[in-house]
Amino acid sequence: MFDLFYNYLIRMPLPSDFQNIASIFEFEIAMALGTTLMFLLIPISILVLFYLASKDLNKKTRNISIIVRLLVITSAFFILTSNSFINYHKQIFNYSTWSQEDTIRENGKFSSFIYYANNESSNNKRLNQFNESDSQIDIHKTLFPNKIKQNKNVHIIALESFFDPRLIQDIAFSQPILAKELTQYLNNQMNFSLVTSPIYGGGTAQAEFELLTGIKALSKVNQIEFNVMQGNTTSSFVNHLNQNNYHTFATIAASASFFNSKQAYKSLDFNNIIYLEEQSGFERKSGEDPVFDGDLLDYNLQNIRTILSKTDKPIFNYVLGMYGHMPFSRDLEKRPDIAVVEHSNEKIKRISNQFYYRTKAIAQYISALIELDPNSIIFITGDHLPSILGKDIEYSLNNKTNISLFIENGNTIDVSGKHFYEMPWYIWDRLSGVKSDRTISTNKMEALYFNLLSQSQL
């Protein structure tokens, strides 16, 4: 049963899934009946085991056996849900924030189920506490006031560990590692904009959360907000664009199991989501894994052309790349080293040469996108720095400072100094034509955060 559930939804089954069986009858009766039967097998199996274990016993012994077994099951339930056990379990449990698959492999199915079930319970209690007091806060009016006056298409591209190795201290290159084609899209100082990610080294979904909601990723309920979302629609930035007649879609290079994304993107209210790993029409131009940025962006361009030819609605196009992930490998036949890197660390040498091909692919994408959609808003950013900084690799900026490009009507705008969660605000102001003064206190941001997460709960 566990394997069937996991293979279908690519996540751990939770107690709350029982309440969703009825809704399946609305669109797939066969699946609903199969799911109901699957869940019924649990108590039926227990009853059969009781019967087999006690059929040769006399009535008194059988009754004692049943009572003892029921007491053991009841005691186990109370122990496994007690605060003492929950705290102890958290200490010994090897939790992977980015993948349930790894978590289950490390801890086993039963231990993982207990962990996630208890986690869901504690999350719900905390969310309910905030929901009671903060549900009246209107996220859209608070973060995205004023009506849209310019229905421009919006493109947000987040690329895994995309950062500028030139910002590493005590490093030198035999020739430029920034593709010359990209220089025309840099700011007046011939630099990228510098924006602040909520994370360093990992946790891509935290960056996604801020870019797609306009709310700070506080890690109050779970280290990864995506892991809390259950699929119910929230008042996200994506949702508000939907309400303003935008067609919203996402192209994702990561798998559907990545940070509970299947449920999270549903909560964020995307109209359509394409996972490249599951897309039969997608062909890699090289054998690289993860997918090369250029292959991903070329596919996205084709998709944009198709969508624009079929709809009169403005579009919100979101792209998540994975190419910059460790171990920073590439197809050396198609993308050989272009520079000798003077640095002791091998990782930074690979990243530096990878940077050239990434910036070249980005430049080609921007050029084609501006030609196809000249009046659009384009925001391209790294999600976070790779986890390579240390004694032998020192970054000249804060380790959460990322490079980005913001382009509107074909012109580059410097957005340095902004946080990821402020980018949806900024984009909304560009669409509405009104620069709103958002004074969001720490308490108010926390209220917005819990309100949105409580909306995502089924």
Domains detected in the chain: 1-80 (no CATH), 148-436 (3.40.720.10)
Those residues whose C-beta lies under 8 Å from the C-beta of residue 75, and which sit 6 or more positions away, are none
Measured CA to CA in angstroms, residue 146 lies from 153, 277, 408 at distances of 18, 39, 20
Q: How many Å apart are CA 231 and CA 265, to the nearest integer?
A: 8
| 134 Cβ contact list (under 8 Å, min separation 6) | 447, 448, 450, 451
- For residue 58, the model assigns a pLDDT of 80
Report d(CA 244, CA 165) in Å as an integer.
Answer: 40
Taking the CB of residue 10, how many other CB atoms lie within 10 A of it?
Answer: 18
Contact 233, 269 (CB under 8 A): yes
**Are 321 and 158 a contacting pair, CB within 8 Å?**
yes
DSSP bridge pairs for 316 = 154, 248
Q: Rounded CA gap, 326 and 336, in Å?
A: 18
Residues 6 or more apart whose CB falls under 8 angstroms from that of 25 comprise 32
pTM, full prediction: 0.77
Query: What per-residue confidence (pLDDT) applies to 131?
Result: 58
> How far are the Cα atoms of 4, 51, 112, 259 from residue 102, in angstroms, in the given order?
18, 37, 10, 11
Identify the pLDDT of residue 212. Answer: 98
Residue closest to 294 by CA, chosen among 327, 277, 319, 317: 319
Cβ-based neighbour number of residue 31 at 10 Å: 13
Cis status of the peptide bond prior to 290, with omega within 30 of 0: yes
Do residues 220 and 448 make contact, with C-beta atoms less than 8 angstroms apart?
A: no
Give the whole-angstrom CA distance, residue 359 versus residue 97.
29
Residue 424 and residue 406 in contact, taking contact as beta carbons nearer than 8 Å: no
In 3D, which of 249, 234, 410 has the Cα closest to residue 315? Answer: 249
For residue 416, the model assigns a pLDDT of 95
Nearest Cα residue to 297 out of 161, 189, 401, 158: 158
> Tokens in use for 405?
């490009």
**How high is the mean pLDDT in each 10-residue block of the chain (458 residues)?**
55 57 48 68 77 76 80 87 85 78 84 82 71 72 94 97 94 95 87 94 91 92 84 96 96 86 94 88 75 93 95 96 87 91 92 96 97 97 91 89 97 96 98 93 90 87
236 in Cβ contact with 211 (< 8 Å): no
The residue behind tokens 């620069």 is 435
Q: Which of 455, 322, 297 is nearest to 383 (CA)?
A: 322
pLDDT score, position 232: 92
Residue 382 is given by DSSP the state E
| Residue 333: alpha-carbon gap to chain centroid | 32
Tell me which amino acid residue 185 is: Y
**How many C-beta atoms surround the C-beta of residue 328 within 10 A?**
20
State residue 15's pLDDT score. Answer: 63
Is the omega angle on the peptide bond into residue 165 within 30 degrees of 0, that is, cis? no
- Give Cα 166 to chain centroid, integer Å: 28
The Cβ of residue 169 has, within 10 Å, a number of other Cβ atoms equal to 9
Element (H, E) at 274: strand 272-275
| Residue 60 C-alpha from the chain's centroid | 57
The answer to whether the beta carbons of residues 405 and 366 sit under 8 Å apart is: yes
**pLDDT in the model for residue 98:** 61
What length is written for the chain? 458
Cβ-contact 214, 451 below 8 angstroms:
no
Contacts of 4 (CB under 8 A, 6+ apart): 38
Question: Residue 157 belongs to what H/E stretch?
Answer: strand 154-159
Q: What angle do CA 431, 141, 428 make, to 5 degrees?
A: 15
Q: What is the largest CA-CA distance in the chain?
A: 90
Query: pLDDT at position 11, please?
Result: 54
Q: What pLDDT is stored for residue 19 in this prediction?
A: 45
Asked if 356 contacts 177 with a C-beta cutoff of 8 angstroms, the reply is yes
